[in-house]
Structure 1
């Protein structure tokens, strides 16, 4: 089940909405429809689909992807080259803005790490039915504003948003800057309240994806820029749009062979900032024993981290920017060594030097 956070800035005064009690649907197991995230006509039938993962870690001050929506152009361009792109909300979310891409899978960050480690698989779906959880710590006016947004998404986009629920106690979201590396991090003091709300939606309503709107502290840097209308008052629209077709997560013990799942071994390449290679997902992909993907490290996308490929001990192809990164992916997809596209990039083939021990040498001489 997909679970995402949506940060709610304070809305302008004067918002209003008629409140009504949510209806309760008959509980039953949701149907899952498998649908390939790529068109089979886009590549030769004797080749499998080319799958790439686009990662820009959250809360690390990335030059590209560290601001709402500014990594979307990268995702859109990459989606025109790869058959399937797997990415996460920090790349694909842009508050009131988003861009539908049928061959892009919207995967929550924690789930992406488990996928990379081979613990979870991704099952593509035709459509998810979405439930909405509100933090009890939100002001009533703020909750009404978000319900207005939810109704608008249902009416204008036809999104399958089923019901909402309010947690039985405030979640009390905390946030701070990690002094060791400078990245933004946080926690909720009452996760049990959130889990109870989610369990109620899943068990009593026809939902298989959940969006969570938590009340964040007001002292967040840059909040005023959002309130002045930079890109909108809430991230809820893009979250709902992403969840509507997000893949379901399948654990290793619950899946069988030939079920059409995407697994880590299906990934051909991974693109990420050059100084952000130390995450669980990045390391899992880079250290895979079988079907190891090409790791492409983008140097122009600087973050507060210092986890370069050399520091974390992984092998990566370094590029200056995302123009080069997507060019490398295009060559890799075509079965071409990307270095062949550069002047002097390919050296002469070298002979393999076989080392022979003294005992082997004695045996060979004796045999003659």
Structure 2
């Protein structure tokens, strides 16, 4: 029995690069939802995460960025799953009052939505997260003690968790253009680093949300693009909504290219199932884009979605391999015409 033969699309909007669509708080959700009405769609969490809201739908697969890269390379398969057992890692540095808000949040989500949270672990050491924007205005940062996150994650996996949400303590970000729906999400880059690290080390879906000491809600009006993050002291719910039915990942056996057990055969999704990849017009430097081109997967670069990266198809000398289109609506029309 072979892996699934159904076609799926892949939409990527990286975090922390000021994407005009998807660079804020779930503001790419509507675009993803429109695409997913026509074809099953793999999305990175940044596209649909919106604090206490989520843009995820039943026809989407919620997959962390590093896992997407490994998937497109052909190193892993995605195994559709539902009602995953979720473990949650909390940074020891989180103040007690902030932690209590998150614990109340977990209980609320469990009560209302029936999401299976198997438990949580507090790290043995403070994680030590810092963040900043580079000279090129790209979000970045550092983590002093990533091993303590890994250790907490291992404990949760031993207790039966299949997927992990991670909440680390962050200093208050400076006031900038973000609240006006402009500029770069300054914490996004290091959030991605944390998720990538844990996904690599633990071999399971891992997604991150920040926690801040200031839990007050500002009465000031902000851009609709970021409003979801300005009405709540916790960003954890969107992770739980996404992870609930996130596909699990499994390494592909080199000899068979579908190294899965019999119970999963016929259900896994590999890069061979990819119909196409759609990305912002100038965010083409990722391994997912380059490997998609190498594997003969059509790549669409959307002109209406720009970033601070300025890496276009000419920058990577793939002008003959990557298709530029005006909008996500154009991408949908291409799918509908097939």
TM range (shorter): 0.7 to 0.9
Decide whether the 8 Å contact of 1:123 with 1:248 is kept in 2: yes
Decide whether the 8 Å contact of 2:90 with 2:168 is kept in 1: yes
Q: Equivalent residues in 2 for 1:1-368 (5 A)?
A: 48-82=5-39, 84-179=40-135, 181-203=136-158, 205-221=159-175, 227-228=217-218, 230-231=227-228, 232-253=232-253, 255-256=259-260, 258-288=265-295, 292-314=296-318, 315-331=321-337, 334=338
Residue 220 (structure 1) shift: 4.2
* Equivalent residues, number: 281
CA–CA distance in 2 between the matches of 1:234 and 1:224? 18
Larger Rg: 1
Partner of 1:365: none
CA–CA distance in 2 between the matches of 1:308 and 1:174? 30
Scaled by the length of structure 1, the TM-score of the pair is: 0.72
Deviations 1:140-175 (A, max 9, x none): 100001111111000011100111110001001111
Give structure 1 regions of 4+ aligned residues with deviation exceeding 3 angstroms: 220-227, 256-259
Decide whether the 8 Å contact of 1:269 with 1:329 is kept in 2: no
CA–CA distance in 2 between the matches of 1:126 and 1:187? 33
Deviations 1:268-287 (A, max 9, x none): 11110110011111111112
Partner of 1:346: none
Which stretches in structure 1 are left out of the alignment for 5+ residues? Answer: 1-34, 37-47, 335-368
Q: 1:249 to 1:76 in 2, by over 3 A?
A: same
Residue 127 (structure 1) shift: 2.1
Deviations 1:22-48 (A, max 9, x none): xxxxxxxxxxxxx98xxxxxxxxxxx5
Scaled by the length of structure 2, the TM-score of the pair is: 0.79
